[in-house]
Amino acid sequence: MKGVPVRIEIGPKYMANNQVRVVRRDNSSKIDVPTSNLVEQIKDILDDIQQCLFDAAKQKRDACIEVVHTWEEFTTALNEKKLILAPWCDEEEVEKKVKEQTKGEMGACKTLCTPLDQPDILEETLCFASGKPAKKWTYWGKSY
């Protein structure tokens, strides 16, 4: 969200009561704040706005992630423009093969990153693309 995150309304009515009205841009909530602690309140409101925007972005991102285990699941999720989390053997040649097989008008699919917090990977977990034993979970997607 771009723009001014809060609007402070100052008028004769508010000044007579030693307060101002603060309006949040992200949710349009309005609160009357005493002028004596305006700076502290604005800091708290800005922190809350930042957290709300972060949580909303994280929720939107998480809704776009698809966990897959097979090539068929992978291609279905890719066609739905999902961010894909898949077990991978971590071999450069396999990534090149995936890029080649998914090449299209909108670009090719590639590894995006490896999550620091790895989901459990069982000994029998196989790479979605090669069928070899998987070494880690990796995010895949197209760069547009």
CATH number at residue 70: 3.30.110.30
Q: For position 48, what pLDDT does the model report?
A: 97
Whole-number percent of the chain with pLDDT over 90? 88
The strand pair at 19-24 and 30-34 is best described as antiparallel
Q: For position 94, what pLDDT does the model report?
A: 96
Tell me whether residue 12 is in a domain: yes
Angle, CA 73 vertex, CA 69 and CA 76 arms, to 5°: 155
Q: What's the average model confidence in pLDDT over 57-69?
A: 96
Q: How many domains does the chain have?
A: 2
From residue 101, give the alpha-carbon distance in Å to each of 63, 97, 98: 26, 6, 5
Specify whether 138 is located in the same domain as 69: yes
Q: For position 144, what pLDDT does the model report?
A: 66
- Band the pLDDT of 143: cuts 50, 70, 90: confident
Tell me whether residue 1 is in a domain: no
Q: For position 50, what pLDDT does the model report?
A: 95
User: What b/e readout covers 22-55, taking b as 16+ CB neighbours within 10 angstroms?
Assistant: bebebeeeeeebeeeeeeebbeebeeebeeeeee
Q: Are 33 and 72 in contact (CB under 8 A)?
A: no
Q: What's the average model confidence in pLDDT over 86-100?
A: 96
Extended beta strands in the chain, E state = 6-9, 19-24, 30-34, 65-67, 83-88, 109-113, 136-142
Last residue of a domain, one of 59, 75, 92: 59
Q: What is the pLDDT of residues 32-54, one digit of tens each?
A: 999 999 999 999 999 999 999 99
Structural domain range at position 55: 6-59
Q: What is the pLDDT of residues 123-135, one digit of tens each?
A: 899 999 999 999 9
Q: What is the DSSP string of 23-55?
A: EETTT--EEEEEGGGHHHHHHHHHHHHHHHHHH
Specify whether 49 is located in the same domain as 70: no
Q: What's the average model confidence in pLDDT over 19-34?
A: 96
Specify whether 127 is located in the same domain as 110: yes
